Amino acid sequence: MAGISVRSFRLQARRYGAGMVATEMISSYAVHYRNQRTLRMLELAEEEHPVSVQLFGNRPEVMAEAALAAEGAGADIIDINMGCPVRKVIKTGAGMALMEDGKRAAAVVAAIVDAVRVPVTAKIRSGPGREVTALSLASRLEDAGLAGVCIHPRLGVQGRKGRADHTVTAALVERLRVPVIASGDIAGRVDAERLLQGAGAAAVMPGRAMLGDPWLFTDMLAGRERRRRRPEEVMAEMRRFFQDLVVEMGRERAVRFMRKFYGWYMKPFRLPSNLAGELRRAQSYDEAESLMESGLPGISPVS
Ligand SMILES: Cc1cc2nc3c(=O)[nH]c(=O)nc-3n(C[C@H](O)[C@H](O)[C@H](O)COP(=O)(O)O)c2cc1C
């Protein structure tokens, strides 16, 4: 998830049992032009493997070059983004726009498969517009050498709204020889089982449900419904995550980065008035830390 799946986030997912993690989407052009911030996105930690590095772009040779760099950085899988609906991305012919140009999409796959030794996968949607085109496209990509497909079965017109239609996932499993990974509305054991046993997916990839709730993995792996967590437990994990972010990106960026996470972690709780706002407005690590420490006794579960 762009703007979310930084290294600390991936490490957290692994600590809670995720079998594999994926980076944010990384611009192949920015790797080509040696953008320093982008190259730092390719820095992977020992403990996060296996990790899939996702690239976006639409020029086969530039994508192949970036894939080689990612492989050199230790990527266990190279994943091609073909699902991003953001205008800035699709107007360059990348992300979801690749689904509209099967020939180019296949050329991108073939170029990367040629360049690297690790498996190459693609993350697709049901279709870039109003129609389901994933099946024929995925077949074509499979023929070009793809080792697996991750499907987020929403249409382009849906963005990230509405329900994911996993009948498309099941149809894809029927159609392809390679493994299919399912993404979309996976919020617990029941959803996961429906996809693994029901639709025949090889793996499931939770997205938004995991925000502020890495215990999703432990609960899912233990085969139980999600449990309520105590405020102390959630606060301790939030602070641990914050500390990891500080190591990863420095205090200043970590303080800004954390702003979107407080609400996710604190969602199951009733907070002392103003705590959420004060946390989001905190200007320094020390200020945020002391707010978390002093705020804890006043946090209670929503009944
Ligand atoms: C903030 C945000 C950023 C995302 N960024 C990416 C991305 O960089 N690459 C990608 O393949 N999917 C991205 N996605 C899509 C998710 O991987 C996932 O397929 C989608 O959210 C559906 O799963 P969910 O319903 O469990 O959230 C993003 C989703 C969100 C909410």
**Domain ranges in the chain?**
7-221, 231-301
Which of the four pLDDT bands, split at 50, 70 and 90, describes residue 273?
confident
- pLDDT tens-digit readout, 123-146: 999 999 999 999 999 999 999 999
Q: Which amino acid is at 33?
A: Y
Mean pLDDT of the chain: 96
Q: State the catalytic residue, choosing from 67, 84, 180, 220.
A: 84
Residue in the block written with tokens 């979309």: 184
Measure 137 CA to ligand 1 centroid, in angstroms.
20
β-pair partners for 127: 155
Is residue 115 predicted with pLDDT exceeding 90?
A: yes
What is the per-residue pLDDT for 33?
A: 98
Measure 152 CA to ligand 1 centroid, in angstroms.
8
Q: Is 7-221 assigned to CATH 3.20.20.70?
A: yes
The string over 208-225, giving b where at least 16 C-beta atoms fall within 10 Å of a residue's C-beta and e elsewhere, is eebbbbbbbbebbeeeee
Closest approach atom of ligand 1 to CA 83: 11
Confidence (pTM): 0.96
Q: Hey, whose CA ends up nearest to atom 13 of ligand 1? A: 1
What is the per-residue pLDDT for 302?
A: 83
- Give the mean model confidence (pLDDT) for residues 158-185: 96
Protein residues with CB under 6 Å of any ligand 1 atom? 1-4, 24-25, 54, 81, 83-84, 123, 152, 160, 164, 183-186, 206-209
For residues 272 and 168, which has the higher predicted lDDT (pLDDT)? 168
Backbone angles phi, psi at 262, to 5 degrees: -55, -50
What is the per-residue pLDDT for 106?
A: 98
DSSP code, position 74: T
What is the per-residue pLDDT for 303?
A: 67
User: Is 84 one of the annotated active-site residues of the chain?
Assistant: yes
Distance CA 74, CA 128 (A): 31
Measure 4 CA to ligand 1 centroid, in angstroms.
10
Percent of the chain, pLDDT > 70? 100
